[in-house]
Amino acid sequence: MNPLRAKWQNDECTIGAWLSIPSPITAEIIGRAGFDHATVDLQHGMVDYADALAMFQAIELGSSVPLARVTWNEPGIIGRMLDLGAGGVIIPMVNNPADATAAVASCRYAPVGRRSVGPTRVRIGKPDYFEGVDDWVLCIPMIETAEAVDNIDDILSVPGIDAVYVGPSDLAVSMGVGGPGLHNDHPDFSEALAKVVDSCRRHGVVPGIHTNVDLVERRVDEGFRLMTVIIDVPTLQMAIAGLLADARTKTSR
């Protein structure tokens, strides 16, 4: 069974990191750090197919479950990421039941879905992959528009969804309540998050969200259980800036 699924069954939170830099070294550092999951971002990151393979291999040197945020809700790229060994896929812009049905179909083999059989790389480490695939693979649609929030009950009525993942920046822009970092205290945004969490509880789906260390306690209190708290690029920027500022202070005499 996917370790994330096992934790969610016990109502435990899972904490993850986000990887945009196409680097197996960065992926290995994150994988060994103790995060529950590490997501390779093919949509907005600088990552291609070959990069993703090397990064999944590096993540698996530690204890993190490798996930992929794919470029779009399209069966080819979803299937390729699962064949490489992703423990789940985060699928952008799922706005209605038809989108959700397509996402599930791309993640599941027949008769439930239409995923093509050929898990070439993942079978190297999981020879019984095919027999336990539905316990391993996580289908995680993104909820990141006002339309998706309006349709959340219909979306979550589609069988085969394991979790959803709120993209707060796109959702805030779609709702007209501010861009990145400007929306967290807007009442309409908070109401939208509450609607998503409430629907997840009623449908037995895990609520997830992209967040940060400053907001993670609030998100847990709101009911979220799948969370990303760092992104490689800004984390590296902040660490370098802080260390450089400290060095400047200590050498300015």
The catalytic site residues sit at: 44
Q: Residue 181: left if φ>0, alpha if ψ -120 to 50, beta else—which one?
A: left
In this structure, the number of other CB atoms found within 10 A of the CB of residue 121 comes to: 15
Radius of gyration of the chain (CA): 18
Q: Look at residue 83 and give its three-state secondary structure.
A: helix
Return the beta strands (E) in the chain as ranges.
14-19, 37-41, 65-69, 88-91, 138-143, 163-166, 206-210, 226-231
